[in-house]
Amino acid sequence: MKRVLVLETAWAEDYWESAKEAPYPKRSYKELKDWENLKKSLPLPGLGVYIKQTIKGKIHDYLHKPFVYLRVKGMKYNEKGEPHFDFEPIGKAKVKSEELLKRLPNKSALFFSISPKEIIQILEELGEKPPKEWLKLLEGEARGWNWKDWIGKYFSDIEEEELSNDEFEDRIADLLKAIGFNVIQKGHKLEGEFADGIAWIDNYYIVYDCKNRWNYTPTDSDIRAIKKYLEDEMKRNGEENRYYPVFIAKSVGMNIKKDVFCIPVNSLLYLLYKKLQLGPKFKLGPIKKILDDKNPLTIETIDKEWFFG
């Protein structure tokens, strides 16, 4: 199934009811962390949601307007990195935008994606019955293929399905092994306080903690804990190695501190896809540069670093 693209605006009270290209001036396409993945999955099911917004000094409040089911056919950005979404309406909801917004996970973004399982649950709670045409898009009955078709249900379910915390840890360990890391799983496998695991290549050690959550942002307590785990692993494995604290979550929030690595599951799944696609040309070496430069592991970064294998 495909992720759903949520687009919000107060530009006009009937904005989502006619086909057009929706620009988002002064915003960056990079705010949509899974941009490349979504673009490769076009056409996408979308929701056009009306909000309350101040535009040119005037308050526009269209929260009372029903949201609209969309088919998103195109995604692009201009030389400034400002995103544009080409869409057409499929049908109008019965429920006001305000009621949907109360249940959506991302309260501040004007555009973001949400998992199919999560949005179906929300729509059911609202008593909504999406149009059949929209459901076909959600189920992936559009032309073309999705890169997740390469990786299989066992791994793709890490992102899409509701897993227990222990099962989430187990599958993350298996995913890291499949990508090519050496892995020692700890966490619930051991008694005591440990990181959920360590993954390494050569002398680069990732001390990771799994967070079975959406839109995860580390708390100060989380950061203190993982730094303690990192210090313990340095004592066990030798300080001559390089160590990096990493949180792995279903998805990550926007305001992540630069000295903390947060990797969304989607990026690890895409890295596995790259390994399968490139075959023997795939080498895990570029991960060292990404860790040293403290760059986020995004689909865009992966496409750049593993272009030639």
CATH number, residue 64: 3.10.590
Note down the domain range covering 46.
4-144
Please say whether the dihedral angle defined by the alpha carbons of residues 127, 130, 131 and 132, taken in this order, is positive or negative: negative
Residues 6+ apart with CB under 8 A from 257: 218, 223
Same domain, 109 and 59: yes
| This prediction's pTM | 0.58
Choosing from 128, 144, 160, the residue where a domain stops is: 144
What pLDDT, in 10s, does the model give residues 136-166?
Answer: 899 875 445 678 888 999 999 998 788 999 9
Among the three residues 85, 113, 144, which one is the final residue of a domain in this structure? 144
Percentage of residues in the chain having pLDDT higher than 70: 95
Phi first, then psi: what are they for 2, rounded to 5°?
-95, 150
Whether 154 and 301 share a structural domain: yes
| pLDDT(168) > 60 | yes
Q: Of 144, 173, 197, which marks where a domain is finished?
A: 144
**Mapping DSSP to helix (H, G, I), strand (E, B) and coil, where does residue 211 land?**
strand
Encode pLDDT of 78-122 as tens digits.
999 999 999 999 999 999 999 999 999 877 789 999 999 999 999
Q: 206 and 96: one domain?
A: no
- Mean pLDDT of all residues belonging to the chain: 90
How many domains does the chain fold into? 2
The contacts of residue 275 (CB under 8 Å, 6+ apart) are 178, 179, 180, 282
Query: Which residue, among 290, 276, 209, 281, has the nearest Cα to 242 in the 3D structure?
Result: 290
Note whether 270 and 179 are same-domain residues.
yes
Q: Residue 126 corresponds to which tokens in the numbers above?
A: 């609202």
Half-sphere exposure of 302 (CA within 13 A, CB side): 25
User: DSSP states of 60-91 as a string?
Assistant: EE-TTSEEEEEEEEEEEE-TT--EEEEEEEEE
Query: For the segment 186-208, what is each residue's pLDDT rounded down to a tens digit?
Result: 999 988 889 999 999 999 999 99
Stated as kind and residue range, the H or E segment containing 247 is strand 242-249
- pLDDT tens across 252-295, in order? 876 666 677 899 999 999 999 999 988 999 999 999 999 998 88
